[in-house]
């Protein structure tokens, strides 16, 4: 039997890496449906679309790395079924027996019934979209979330006319709230994006367009877990240590609806979470029992704006915001607190020396007046 990871993305690759770094010498099998080696996804909506990084340069490791560590890497192989009684993963290329199993199948774009629409999830998607942007199409983006906004920035850099439709009052409203969302709205309007907020999309573009990108969020790939009888909600339900309802099966990355020991049940779709949960799950596969307690983190790059975010802010607290600096100039540090002064989340805009402070203060109780004056 082997340590088996289903999912050839970053969480899976990180788990493999950690297994070997922890000294595990047994069989390790990594099963991925895509034909590519595991790769990083953040560059797909940033550097790859901007043309500053080749899609093939996003690999986590090259093929020799896996060979040197005796990892049985099975790309282009789809897992079809999990037999938990026999402890076997059935694939389209045969069966694989497992001692411990990690599900890291990720998520996929939420789709809309729009003829000819494109989506951005895979390396092949990014390659095709980059080629399309070089033709300078009139682009409509449905959704002003992180992916939609990053694609808008890349499309404007390529000289495209860009229209973005978003049903909420501001971009990123459910993540950063009204005030900070308005900062992102102004950023894109300054760069020539036709940003139409409070506008629902009925399938008919509001302006003449050549290409429609749908970016309305993602859904976890839970079919395999559901068919196996594992507990599933908004993702595969896992405890604080990333174990599913079957103690021999774990889940990590986008797919994991994690019982965070501080933040409660949440599912995080970001790069850092895939890396760190993959590593943590590998340690649990080897017998560790520490809960995964890392605070969520992500970053974004849009035009001349770079930002990092730490924490998790429930919607009801998004208006409890403290700003230090100048949001209009996009030189600021932002904090969100609950009613008792607990810092739930923090974000900097072009203040890279504030990154450590964000991690230091999130989870602490701080007087709002002191927070607004504090210097790093």
So what's the pLDDT on residue 374?
A: 61
So what's the pLDDT on residue 375?
A: 53
The list of the chain residues with pLDDT below 70 reads: 374-376
User: Can you list the domains of the chain with their CATH numbers?
Assistant: 2-108+218-285 (3.50.50.60), 111-214 (3.50.50.60), 304-373 (3.30.390.30)
Strand order in the sheet with 232-233: 232-233, 235-238, 256-260, 264-266
Q: Per the structure block, which two tokens stand in for 158?
A: 């390529």
Quote the Cα angle for 264-266-268, to 5°: 140
Helices (H) then strands (E): counts for the chain: 10, 22
So what's the pLDDT on residue 373?
A: 76
Instruction: Please tell me the distance from the alpha carbon of residue 319 to that of residue 307, in angstroms, as a whole number.
Output: 19
pTM: 0.95
Beta strands 321-326 and 331-337 are antiparallel
Instruction: Please tell me the distance from the alpha carbon of residue 270 to that of residue 45, in angstroms, as a whole number.
Output: 13
So what's the pLDDT on residue 376?
A: 45
Q: Can you tell me whether residue 109 is helix, strand or coil?
A: strand
């Amino acid at each position: 039997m082997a340590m088996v990871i289903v999912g050839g993305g970053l969480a899976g690759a990180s788990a493999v890496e950690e297994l070997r770094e922890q000294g595990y010498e047994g069989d390790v099998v990594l099963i991925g449906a895509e034909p590519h080696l595991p790769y990083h996804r953040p560059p797909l909506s940033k550097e790859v679309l901007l043309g500053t990084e080749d899609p093939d340069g996003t690999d986590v490791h090259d093929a020799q790395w896996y060979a040197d560590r005796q990892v049985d890497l099975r790309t282009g192989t789809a897992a079809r079924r999990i037999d938990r009684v026999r402890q076997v993963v059935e694939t389209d290329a045969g069966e694989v027996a497992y001692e411990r199993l990690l599900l890291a199948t990720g998520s996929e774009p939420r789709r809309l019934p729009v003829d000819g629409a494109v989506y951005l999830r895979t390396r092949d998607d990014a390659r095709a979209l980059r080629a399309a942007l070089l033709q300078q199409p009139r682009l409509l983006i449905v959704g002003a979330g992180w992916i939609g906004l990053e694609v808008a920035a890349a499309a404007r850099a390529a000289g495209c006319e860009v229209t973005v439709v978003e049903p909420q009052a501001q971009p990123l409203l459910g993540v950063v709230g009204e005030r900070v969302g308005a900062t992102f709205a102004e950023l894109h309007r300054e760069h020539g994006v036709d940003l139409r907020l409070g506008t629902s999309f009925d399938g008919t573009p509001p302006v003449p367009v050549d290409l429609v990108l749908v970016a309305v969020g993602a859904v976890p790939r839970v079919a395999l877990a559901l068919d196996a009888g594992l507990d599933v909600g908004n993702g595969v339900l896992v405890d604080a240590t990333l174990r599913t309802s079957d103690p021999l099966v774990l889940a990590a990355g986008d797919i994991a609806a994690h019982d965070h020991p501080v933040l409660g049940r949440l599912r995080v779709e970001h790069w850092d979470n895939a890396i760190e949960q993959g590593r943590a799950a590998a340690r649990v596969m080897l017998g560790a029992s520490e809960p995964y307690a890392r605070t969520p983190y992500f970053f974004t790059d849009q035009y001349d704006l770079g930002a990092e975010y730490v924490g998790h802010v429930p919607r009801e607290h998004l208006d409890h915001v403290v700003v230090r600096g100048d949001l209009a100039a996009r030189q600021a540090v932002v904090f969100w607190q609950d009613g008792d002064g607990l810092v739930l989340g923090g974000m900097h805009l072009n203040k890279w020396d504030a990154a450590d402070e964000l991690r230091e203060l999130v989870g602490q109780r701080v007087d709002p007046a002191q927070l607004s004056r504090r210097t790093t």
